[in-house]
Amino acid sequence: MTETVDYDALIPNNVGLADDPKLQRALEKWHPGYLDWWNSMGPEGFQMADVYLRTAVSVEKEGWAKFDYVKMPEYRWGILLAPAVEERAIPCGEHVGEPAWMEVPGAYRAMLRRLIVIQGDTEPASVEQQRHLGSVSPSLYDMRNLFQVNVEEGRHLWAMVYLLQKYFGRDGRDEAHELLERQSGSEEKPRMLGAFNEETPDWLSFFMFTYFTDRDGKMQLEALAHSGFDPLSRTCRFMLAEEAHHMFVGYTGVKRIVQRTAEAMTSAGIEDPYDIEAVRALGVIDLPAIQRKTNLHFSLTLDLFGSEESTNAANYFNAGVKGRYHEDKLQDDHQLRNDTYPVMKLVDGELQLVEVPALNALNARLRDDFIEDCRGGISRWNREISSHGIDFEITMPHVAFNREVGEFADLSISPAGRVVDAPTFEAKTSTWLPTSEDRAYIEELMQPQFEPGEFAGWIAPPQRGIQNKTPNFLYVKLP
Ligand code: BYC
Ligand code: FE
Ligand code: FE
């Protein structure tokens, strides 16, 4: 016998859940499977810990950032939509200016379902990828941030499942079920997009992932926030508010690592960042290894934008189901019928920009917007390094480096953007991408530090804690 759950109380929502018995029934069916998934695939070993988490209980200013101790399986995964914009119009494509859809338009049902499923699939995937990291946290502060990210990605899954169950009938319920069946890295039922089947083996990878890959989340959500399907738009707008913290975790995480490395080098009198043996003897992560991780996570994330030229993307835009980044701020006809956009391609053995119809180049465009958005944090990492008098710069590799999707998938391109042959690429891989030695060394560093206010030796403490608490606040009470 199943217990009756008061879903309206359990799930903070602003979607009128109490008055929607059909949706309640669908959630009642899905919820136990979600909890099973969370308990078996979510943060391993800490389900009983009391974690100082932010919980969104409403979208109002006072409501969306309530902090308290909570055991993760009891987190209140809300279904929250950003406030409706009155008389909102479809922002792009052939229906531009028409009233936004409150229901799924029949003609675009398959398209919307697919986009929502792909978005939904990434959310639990990231939780699966990060499930082993808690046990090697460099501090309770970092552990709390990891779990905050995890519960919010869980909530993002709820957000997509809400849309599927509310608007897509039986198919939607089937898709909601499948979202709990696929598994990151699985042979038989992998997650849908490449990067979400990769491992996140250590905390440097976690920070790179939240800096780069969560930023793909930001870009895609921003584009979907301009959907003509209003419930999707409102859902994504609220998710974006949470995404900022995920990227903050990544940005500050890498910054604290390079800070610690630079400090340690300076106090030991090591000037050469490439004196790997000497740097590693200090128990910190050498800057070239950090560059290799950057190269890896950046290139994996670029693949998430799909092919540079895509008729799928053109169809999404034409239909008005997915906009561009900052669609509302762009000054053009929002239809792109006669426009072109420069896309990088290999022409006569050289990488060159080629003008192509703008409608077909929307994936390339969003990817370019992403690359711009990555710059700020990286230059602040570099300022941190140079402030310690160390001569080293972390750079974004060329867009064509190490790609498996799109234009450059079959090419061998160096991080500097030079076309090389396959054997050269092979021979250089160990300077361009993380090696097994890097992995073994970093793994060795991943020792738990669970004393309040203490931090592992390879990462500097944060400048301040979460929600005006100090870094030594008891962010996680271990059972
Ligand atoms: N891996 O026409 P194309 C996030 C497939 S992250 C495997 O270029 P399209 C988060 C593609 O499906 C944001 N397959 O594709 C971050 C297509 O297959 P079919 C997630 C790939 O559709 C951190 C074929 O190749 N949200 O939220 O224009 C933590 C042809 O490609 C990949 C979204 O992505 C790949 N990387 O573009 C937690 C938004 N790339 O049709 C969460 C929704 C492409 O031939 N998704 N393929 O079977 C989309 O807008 C689009 O689906 C994509 C792909 C931009 C992903
Ligand atoms: Fe997310
Ligand atoms: Fe995220």
Query: Which pLDDT belongs to residue 64?
Result: 79
* Order of strands, sheet of 66-71, starting from the edge strand that comes earlier in the sequence: 66-71, 50-55, 476-477
Look at the block and give the residue holding tokens 């975790």.
Answer: 249
Query: Which pLDDT belongs to residue 60?
Result: 82
pLDDT, tens only, 412-422: 999 999 999 99
Phi/psi at 69 (nearest 5 deg)?
-75, 135
Q: Which residues of the chain have pLDDT under 70?
A: 1-5
Q: Do the strands 66-71 and 50-55 form a parallel or antiparallel pair, or are they unpaired?
A: antiparallel
Which residues touch 26 (CB under 8 Å, ≥6 apart)?
Answer: 165, 173, 176
Closest approach atom of ligand 1 to CA 362? 28
Q: How far is the CA of 51 from the centre of ligand 3 (A)?
A: 18
State the total domains in the chain.
Answer: 1
CB distance 312 to ligand 1 below 6 Å: yes
Residue 5 lies in a domain: no
Residue 145 lies in a domain: yes
Query: Which pLDDT belongs to residue 4?
Result: 62
State whether residue 28 is helix, strand or coil: helix
Closest approach atom of ligand 1 to CA 192? 7
Token pair in block for residue 413:
């391109």
Q: Which of 220, 235, 311 most suits a substitution to test ligand 1, by most atoms within 8 Å of the C-beta?
A: 220
CB 133 within 8 A of CB 44: no
Taking Cα atoms as reference points, which of 124, 127, 146 lies closest to residue 135? 146
Which residues touch 56 (CB under 8 Å, ≥6 apart)?
Answer: 12, 63, 64, 65, 66, 78, 80, 155, 238, 242
CB distance 126 to ligand 1 below 6 Å: yes
Closest approach atom of ligand 1 to CA 303? 36
Distance CA 317, CA 327 (A): 11
Give me the residues paired with residue 101 across strands: 229
CB distance 193 to ligand 1 below 6 Å: yes
Radius of gyration of the chain (CA): 23
Q: How far is the CA of 388 from the centre of ligand 3 (A)?
A: 31
Nearest C-alpha to atom 22 of ligand 1 is from which residue? 312
Residue 281 lies in a domain: yes
CB distance 300 to ligand 1 below 6 Å: no
Q: How far is the CA of 306 from the centre of ligand 1 (A)?
A: 5
CB distance 46 to ligand 1 below 6 Å: no
Q: The domain containing residue 366 runs over which residues? A: 87-338+357-409+432-477
Query: Which pLDDT belongs to residue 2?
Result: 46
CB distance 13 to ligand 1 below 6 Å: no
Q: Is the pTM of this model over 0.75?
A: yes
Residue 63 lies in a domain: no
Residue 351 lies in a domain: no
Closest approach atom of ligand 1 to CA 194? 1
Binning the chain into helix, strand and coil, the percentages to the nearest 5 are 50, 10, 40
Q: How far is the CA of 305 from the centre of ligand 1 (A)?
A: 6
Torsion angle, CA of 30/35/36/37, rounded to 10 degrees?
90
Sign of the dihedral defined by the CA atoms of residues 56, 156, 36, 113, in that order: positive
Longest dimension (CA), the chain: 69
Q: How far is the CA of 189 from the centre of ligand 3 (A)?
A: 22
Which bound ligand lies closest to the C-alpha atom of 125? 1
Residue 70 lies in a domain: no
Strand ranges, E, within 14-102: 50-55, 66-71
Query: Which pLDDT belongs to residue 5?
Result: 65
Q: How far is the CA of 322 from the centre of ligand 2 (A)?
A: 17
CATH number at residue 203: 1.10.620.20
Distance CA 181, CA 168 (A): 19
CB distance 118 to ligand 1 below 6 Å: yes
Look at the block and give the residue holding tokens 């399907």.
Answer: 229
